[in-house]
Amino acid sequence: MTLDQLRIASRRSQLAMVQTNWVRDELQKAHPDLAITIEAMATQGDKILDVALAKIGDKGLFTKELEAQMLLGHAEIAVHSLKDLPTNLPEGLILGCITQREDPSDALVVNEKNRIHQLETLPEGSVVGTSSLRRLAQLRYHYPHLVFKDVRGNVITRLEKLDSGVYDCLILAAAGLQRLGFANRIHQLIPTDISLHAVGQGALGIECVSGQQEVLDILKTLEHESTSKRCLAERSFLRELEGGCQVPIGVRTEINNDELILEGMVASLDGKRLIRDIKKGSVSSAEEIGIDLANELKGLGAGEILEEIFKSARA
C-alpha cells in the first residue's frame, strides 16, 4: 500500500514554520502526488519565555509535544532544528533524516552604537544577550570583562530588544538569521577558536515513527550524507557526555576526503575551565569518533566539570 498523505508536526514559531515549509515544499517537489499538511503547535519551550532555558527543566523542551502527536498517530513526521532534538529519543521514534547543513557558526549581532566593534573590541561592561550556556561559558572564558544577560523570545523579539538598547549585542545562530531573511544583521561570524557551535546546529532533523519504511523512503530525497555523518558524530559525542541544553558543550566537524575531524569542548558554567580536543577517523566510524572524543575529554577533566553541573542541577 502506497502512502498518500503525510502530516508534519511543527512548532508554531516563525523560524520553525520557515523550516517546516521548506521541508514540505522540497518533499512536494519530489512527491507531487502526495498530500502534505502541517500540524503546528506550541511547545513547552515556546510557552515559558520569562525563565532562562537552563532553569526550565529537562531536555526536549521544544520536541515533546511534537513527538506525542506522532506516537498518537496524528502525524507521520516532525521537523526540528537538529540542535533542539535530544540524542536519546522516545521509544518508537527515530531520527529519519538529516538535511544539508547551513552555516553552523554563532553570529554577533550588534546595536547600532557598536557597529565599529567586533566581539574582541567590545568595551568593558558591554551587555551581551544569549540564552545558551554553551555560548555563555565560552565567551566568559575568552572575554571576562563583558556582562552577560539572558534573552528569550523569537528572533524578531530579540532583535527588537537589541535595537531598543536593552542589550549592546546578541549572539545568535547564523543559520536561523539567514533562514529568516536577517543575514544583513550578521555583524561577525564568531571564529571557532572562540566559540564551538552546538551539536547539530545549522541542520534540520526529521523525526518519524520507527518501522514505517514508506515514510523513510519519502524522506530519502532530503538526506544529506556528509551532513548526516558530521551530525551523527556530534550527537554520539553529546550522548556519551550525557549533556543537554543546560550543559556547556560545543563541537566543530569537517570531512576531508574519507576522514572525519571532530573537535569538542566542555566548559564550566562560570567559564573559568574549558577543555577541548580533536579526534580524527574514518567517515564510516562517525559515531565511534564521537564516543572516543567524549571519553578522552572525560579523562582530561571534563567528567569532573559535568558531575559538578549535574549535582548543582539536582540540588
Please identify every residue annotated as catalytic: 84
CB 157 within 8 A of CB 13: no
> What's the N-to-C CA distance of the chain in angstroms?
53
Radius of gyration over alpha carbons of the chain, in Å?
Answer: 19
Q: In this structure, what is the dihedral angle of CA atoms 169, 172, 178, 184, given to the nearest 10 degrees?
A: 10
Residue the block writes with cell 530519502: 220
